[in-house]
């Protein structure tokens, strides 16, 4: 027997050493939440393109999932693993972890043969339990356990992920859903909170100080910066859409707010208040209004004079000028100059804008549950048009009178045309409510 022992030693020395090496080749996140980017020219492109992995194509594409415990959560993803091994075949466990274990991904597969690949069906076994933004990337360490060995994988180390509060709602207008830029904003603004009430409050906080709109606005956009601001969400988001130069409208602001809420699974409805056929425009705050109209027009004791105006290229898109009109008695006798009794005060804060336009023919606001959110002016109201008008508007423009004023000094002064605004108190007419799209 002693003569056989050297043979056993030699056999042991000749035995091929056991080893296991693994690499992550691709990661496909299967949250069922599609993302779109808006390119120059307005093209809406799905990201990643169909069939392209989120990691492994040379470009890292982001994915959106519902937070841990959020309604409608989906956890699935697929990871392609490549291995080389000797003596380590059998059932294997794949695990990916973030540095603080806020994100854990796990899946099982089988290793057989000295080398090969497997598409491993995985799921998140742990995710943040609050809204989170890892759009700039979160690192993952991947390991494979098999036959008593644990190998650290190469590849798949940095992924881009966003975690929303609940399964996103679809958008019922013509936009694609959902846009990457809005996802980035909506998860940054609500990062660290959970639940409908707190998420709604966090997003609304980006549009309201509690008593006024945000100036400047975090997006960098200015409300009605010109007479032709951006009206739709896709133009607002496209690189060459001109929103920085033109400004954004009440409609664009409302739609951005709605998509932020829809992304977090919050139901909302666009509401469009409009002036009726008897009026030209409703006037927004801040106007100083005499308790009782000055008798500029004796036959119309309820009429106010809201000044004389000319169009301007700068906010508030109208410039006040002196009036040349005179008050007339019922007999037509010329009296004193018209006296302004509905005067515009400076500084109506709207999103990114301290000098918003004086009034509108229509407006876009948002209903959530039983409240109305005026996203342009940062004010929350009860869900009632009369109450909304009483707290948000100053009066009605009901007509114009041709007026004139002198522009320039001395011999260079020229007579120019203007329009005198005839107005009534807001209680004189009713807003028309039109409900638009919901999610």
The whole domain housing 31 covers 19-164
Q: Contact at 8 Å (CB) between 366 and 269?
A: yes
The pLDDT tens digits for 24-54 are 999 999 999 999 999 999 999 999 999 999 9
Total structural domains in the chain? 2
Using the predicted structure, report yes or no on whether residue 324 has a pLDDT greater than 70.
yes
Which ranges constitute the DSSP H helices of 210-366?
Answer: 233-237, 243-246, 250-263
What is the Cα–Cα distance from 293 to 214, expressed in whole angstroms? 34
Please state, in angstroms and as integers, the Cα–Cα distance from residue 150 to each residue in 16, 85, 88, 125, 146, following that order: 19, 12, 10, 19, 7
What is the Cα–Cα distance from 348 to 250, expressed in whole angstroms? 14
153 and 277 both lie in a single domain:
no
150 and 289 both lie in a single domain:
no
62 within a domain of the structure (yes/no):
yes
154 and 292 both lie in a single domain:
no
The pLDDT tens digits for 91-118 are 999 999 999 999 999 999 999 999 999 9
Number of H helices, E strands in the chain: 7, 27
416 and 278 both lie in a single domain:
yes
174 within a domain of the structure (yes/no):
no
Q: How much is the pTM?
A: 0.92
Using the predicted structure, report yes or no on whether residue 7 has a pLDDT greater than 70.
no
Using the predicted structure, report yes or no on whether residue 317 has a pLDDT greater than 70.
yes
**Confidence band of 15 (pLDDT split at 50, 70, 90):** low
Question: Whose CA is closest to 353, among 249, 236, 238?
Answer: 249
204 within a domain of the structure (yes/no):
no
Please report the pLDDT score of residue 1 as a whole number: 46
294 and 153 both lie in a single domain:
no
133 within a domain of the structure (yes/no):
yes
283 within a domain of the structure (yes/no):
yes
Range of lowest pLDDT (174-178, 288-292, 389-393): 174-178
338 within a domain of the structure (yes/no):
yes
221 within a domain of the structure (yes/no):
no
**Confidence band of 3 (pLDDT split at 50, 70, 90):** very low
Using the predicted structure, report yes or no on whether residue 332 has a pLDDT greater than 70.
no
Residue with tokens 């392609």: 80
Average of per-residue pLDDT across 215-233: 96
149 within a domain of the structure (yes/no):
yes
Please report the pLDDT score of residue 14 as a whole number: 47
Question: Whose CA is closest to 28, among 95, 106, 117, 122?
Answer: 122
Using the predicted structure, report yes or no on whether residue 16 has a pLDDT greater than 70.
no
What is the Cα–Cα distance from 408 to 418, expressed in whole angstroms? 15
pLDDT: which is higher, 19 or 402? 402
Let me know the angle formed at the C-alpha of 54 by 119 and 131, rounded to the nearest 5 degrees.
110
Of 111, 135, 164, the residue at which a domain comes to its end is 164
What is the domain-level CATH number for residue 41? Answer: 2.60.40
152 and 279 both lie in a single domain:
no
279 and 160 both lie in a single domain:
no
The pLDDT tens digits for 145-165 are 999 999 999 999 999 999 999
Of 105, 131, 164, the residue at which a domain comes to its end is 164
Of 136, 164, 192, the residue at which a domain comes to its end is 164
């Amino acid at each position: 027997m002693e003569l056989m022992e050297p043979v056993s030693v030699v056999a042991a020395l000749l035995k091929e050493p056991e080893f296991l090496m693994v690499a992550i080749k691709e990661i496909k996140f299967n949250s069922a939440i599609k993302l779109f980017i808006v390119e120059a020219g307005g093209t809406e492109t799905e990201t990643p393109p169909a069939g392209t992995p989120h990691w492994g194509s040379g470009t890292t594409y982001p994915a959106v999932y519902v937070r841990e415990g959020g309604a409608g959560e989906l956890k699935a993803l697929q990871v392609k693993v490549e291995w080389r091994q000797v003596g380590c075949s059998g059932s294997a466990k794949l695990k990916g972890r973030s540095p603080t274990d806020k994100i854990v991904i796990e899946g099982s597969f089988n290793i057989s043969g000295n080398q090969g690949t497997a598409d491993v069906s995985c799921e998140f076994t742990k995710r943040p339990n609050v809204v989170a933004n890892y759009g700039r990337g979160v690192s993952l360490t991947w390991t494979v356990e098999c036959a008593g060995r644990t190998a650290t994988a190469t590849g798949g180390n940095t992924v881009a992920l966003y975690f929303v509060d609940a399964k996103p709602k679809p958008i019922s207008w013509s936009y694609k859903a959902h846009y990457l830029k809005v996802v980035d904003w909506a998860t940054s603004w609500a990062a660290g909170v959970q639940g409908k009430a707190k998420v709604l409050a966090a997003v609304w906080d980006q549009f309201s100080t509690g008593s006024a709109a945000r100036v400047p606005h975090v997006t960098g956009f200015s409300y009605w910066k010109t007479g032709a601001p951006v009206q739709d969400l896709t133009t607002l988001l496209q690189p060459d859409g001109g929103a920085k130069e033109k400004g954004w409208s009440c409609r664009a602001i409302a739609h951005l707010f709605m998509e932020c809420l829809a992304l977090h699974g919050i139901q909302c409805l666009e509401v469009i208040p409009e002036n009726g056929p008897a009026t030209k425009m409703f006037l927004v705050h801040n106007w100083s209004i005499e308790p009782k109209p000055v008798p500029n027009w004796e036959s119309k004791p309820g009429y106010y004079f809201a000044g004389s105006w000319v169009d301007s290229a700068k906010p508030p898109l109208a410039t006040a000028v002196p009036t040349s009109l005179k008050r007339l008695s019922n007999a037509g006798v010329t009296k004193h100059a018209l006296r302004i009794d509905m005067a515009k005060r400076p500084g109506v804060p709207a999103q990114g804008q301290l000098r918003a336009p004086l009034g509108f023919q229509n407006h876009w606001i948002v209903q959530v549950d039983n409240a109305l959110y005026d996203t342009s002016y940062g004010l929350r109201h009860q869900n009632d048009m009369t109450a909304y008008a009483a707290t948000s508007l100053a009066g009605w423009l009901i007509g114009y009178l041709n007026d004139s004023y002198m522009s320039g000094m001395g011999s260079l002064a020229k007579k120019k045309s203007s329009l005198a605004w005839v107005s009534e108190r807001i209680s004189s007419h009713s807003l028309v409510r039109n409900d638009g799209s919901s999610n």
